Amino acid sequence: MQNASAAGISPGKITLNFFPETSQTIEYRITGYDDFAITNKECSFLEYNNDSEWLETGETRFTVTIRFPKTLPPGANNCGFMVMHGATDPEAPETARRGIGAVSQVGAVIQINVPLKGKYARISLHAENANKGEPVYFQIKAENLGEYDLNSLNARIEVADIEGKIIQRLVTEPFSIPKFGAAEVWKKMETTNFVPAKYKATAIVDYSGAGPAVAETAFLVGKMFVDFLGFEANATSGRINPITANIESWWGNPVENVYAEFKMQNGSGKYAGEFKTESADLEPWQKASLLGYWDATGLEPGNYTAGITLKYKGGKTETNGTIILHSPAEAKTEFPFSKAKDILSSPIFIIVLMLILLANILVWFMQKQGKAKGEKE
């Protein structure tokens, strides 16, 4: 007998388009079971063909047939089934399924797409960042989810700055989407006259339906610059405190040896120490966190000003911020229940709990089998 714990089914999920009062047969292959039953069918129009065949690859092949009814609700309809180990008869009652096989099963999902009433389209928009002077390419993916073909469509793209002011309008070439179909269109935009900054693009496709299809995306027109996004600090006087600086590259090429320098002053402007974070090499457009340590062993609680300089090969970024240095009494303490919460949410505890639950199910089932056997005798 094969190892049911290694069971799998292929395909695990498929998508079909709905054609009323037609049928479609789907072939499946299952591993890990040498006898099985098809159970828990989610739709009445799915039939198991009772044609299983063992293959030399160690798999078992079988087919099911979908017989589409006249109507189904518009949208995505899920239809599926479970394959349960331990019974060769697809109609076998639960008491006929043997031992551990009764709790060993794998499932398959069949998604049936039914057109929405009238005309209906859905789109997505994607754009990669680009350095100033390099083009930005907009990718629009469109799906036809309605009852009719959609012909002679155009996508309008509006590009706005962070204040919402539209600074560029574009129109794609015409395209069409058949029923159940999809289309992908591209539009190129030059950035020579753009100021390096963050921008938002909105794509609009009017298909004479209930309303236009709309999608948005954000992108960067970059320059050789590393942005300081902020820092994370929970600092206490009398201690050495970890400080994390969060950064983002605005450059479409690698940026080497990036690190942050913090120079600290108290509320009176008096020097209160300085430190450097670890360094990192950034990939294009990458966000990262840099860790450093501030020695506050001889400092009083209060607000401290941090003069922050990001240094990197090719430039630097300067900013400032405020770090609150708490007294030890104000420092957060860990309540007893927080440790218990950590234990209860740990992967090891969850695995042990699942094993105990499975053992209880097996004991219950074996007792039920023994009771049924005793009644027959």
CATH of 4-114, one of 2.60.40.10, 3.40.640.10, 3.75.10.20, 3.40.605.10: 2.60.40.10
pLDDT band at 355 (very low <50, low <70, confident <90, very high): confident
> What distances in angstroms separate CA 7 from CA 3, 10, 58, 193, one per listed residue?
7, 10, 11, 58
Same fold, 121-222 and 226-326: yes
pLDDT in tens, 138-173: 999 999 999 999 999 999 999 999 999 999 999 999
pLDDT in tens, 195-226: 999 999 999 999 987 789 999 999 999 999 99
Q: State residue 2's pLDDT score.
A: 45
Domain boundaries, the chain: 4-114, 121-222, 226-326, 340-371
Q: Are 38 and 90 a contacting pair, CB within 8 Å? A: yes
Whose tokens are 């709790």? That residue is 103
Fold of 121-222: Immunoglobulin-like (2.60.40)
Identify the weakest region by mean pLDDT among 219-228, 301-310, 318-327, 356-365: 356-365
DSSP 215-234: EEEEEEEE-S-EEEEEEEE-
Cα 304 to the chain's mean position, in Å? 39
Q: Which CATH architecture has domain 226-326?
A: Sandwich (2.60)
Assigned token pair, 132 = 């100033």
Give pairs for 266-274: CB < 8 Å, separation 24+: 266/299, 266/300, 266/302, 266/304, 266/305, 267/302, 267/303, 267/304, 267/305, 272/296, 272/299, 272/304, 273/299
Residue 174: DSSP 8-state = P
pTM of the predicted protein model: 0.67
pLDDT in tens, 234-268: 999 999 999 999 999 999 999 999 999 999 999 99
Dist CA 102 CA 158 (whole Å):
58
Please state, for a pLDDT cut of 70, what percent of the chain lies above it: 84
Residue 179: DSSP 8-state = T
Assigned token pair, 137 = 């390419």
Determine if residue 238 is left, alpha or beta; phi over 0 gives left, psi from -120 to 50 gives alpha, anything else beta. Answer: left
* Mean pLDDT score of the chain: 86
Q: Is it the case that residue 282 has pLDDT exceeding 90?
A: yes
Q: State residue 365's pLDDT score.
A: 66
Q: Mean pLDDT across the stretch 226-237?
A: 95
